[in-house]
Homo-oligomer: A and B are copies of this chain.
């Protein structure tokens, strides 16, 4: 199975049988609203805290994926995933509801592809027949924890990004029809010394480039192998930096071919500054919008490079720079549905 030092190729090509994507009101007004399975009109989801609402997003996304695959919840052997909240409680509490054996992950906004990489590895090696993986975030819960409660109306610089309220999950199996997971490259921590927590895109861009470069090298392929190389949540600022860095490293890639989930989810005019972010960003955009486009035949081979900033408010207060990571997973679909 091993191809390169940190890249796995999945010979069995695990299948994404179904996905579940749930979003909030801001996502419902966004550019890809029709790609969500379920959209909520307010941030509370009938709960008495944002953290509990966050939990419900993930529960609902898992339930949708299970329903769509037409299997029983008891058939799902494992859930792998996480979120940004301290001790990833929204995910753990959702798994209390779902009662699926659970492996908690933390990779900040890279969690979606950390989970898909491990999930595909497990299915590929016949460690599960059915397995769920995913990530989620909730704008108000995340803002409260990392910055200020949204009710304060705090101002942000134009480099800041808007945390997605949403959960995206994928149900994997070793048989069936659907897009297939063909390889994964695990990220390493890259820290270029940036300290501004309002410019995460800039901090994360070098990690994305490092992982893309290793992925192409270890698989022995050219960037042209992929119809789309899509980063997780670099936003406008980080996307430009990453594009420039790739070119400097001699990686030939076009603007059409290199895109970012954080620039897809919201509509022009929504006040999201440099774009979207959050663990739910790449999870909902990939498992909703991008897989839908794949199934329509718009493209066949996609490399998803989910980026994460591994800081905390405490590490920032203690003068630390921002360590970042990016995990890449390739998804391919030959058009049969």
| A interface residue numbers (CB < 8 A to B) | 1-2, 5-6, 8, 48-49, 51-52, 77-78, 82, 84-89, 92-93, 95-96, 99-108, 114, 117-118, 121-122, 124-129, 186-189, 191, 310-315, 318, 320, 323, 325
Contacts and interface: CB of A to CB of B under 8 A. Distances in A.
B318 A125 contact: no
Contacts of A320: 89, 93
Q: How many copies does the complex hold?
A: 2
Given A104-B310, A121-B121, 19 more contacts: A49-B318, A85-B312, A86-B313, A86-B314, A88-B106, A93-B310, A93-B323, A95-B188, A95-B189, A95-B323, A99-B189, A102-B187, A103-B117, A104-B105, A105-B105, A106-B106, A118-B118, A121-B122, A125-B125
17 contacts: A2-B126, A5-B77, A51-B314, A52-B318, A84-B87, A86-B314, A89-B314, A92-B310, A96-B191, A102-B187, A102-B188, A103-B105, A104-B106, A104-B107, A104-B114, A105-B106, A121-B125
A189 B51 contact: no
A103 B188 CA distance: 9
Contacts of A104: 105-107, 114, 310
A100 to B, nearest CB: 7
A124 B2 CA distance: 12
**Top 4 A-B residue pairs of the complex, sorted by shortest distance between their CB atoms:** A125-B125, A92-B310, A87-B312, A6-B101
A1 B122 CA distance: 10
Contacts of A122: 121
A106 B89 CA distance: 10
A153 B227 CA distance: 60
A2 B128 contact: yes
A194 B51 CA distance: 20
A114 B320 CA distance: 28
A127 B103 CA distance: 18
Contacts of A106: 82, 87-88, 104-106
Contact of A188 (B93, B101, B121): B101
A258 B314 CA distance: 39
Contacts of A103: 105, 107, 114, 117-118, 186
Q: Which of A52, A100, A106 has the most CB of B within 10 A?
A: A106
A200 to B, nearest CB: 13
A232 B50 CA distance: 32
A191 B94 CA distance: 12
A96 B189 contact: yes
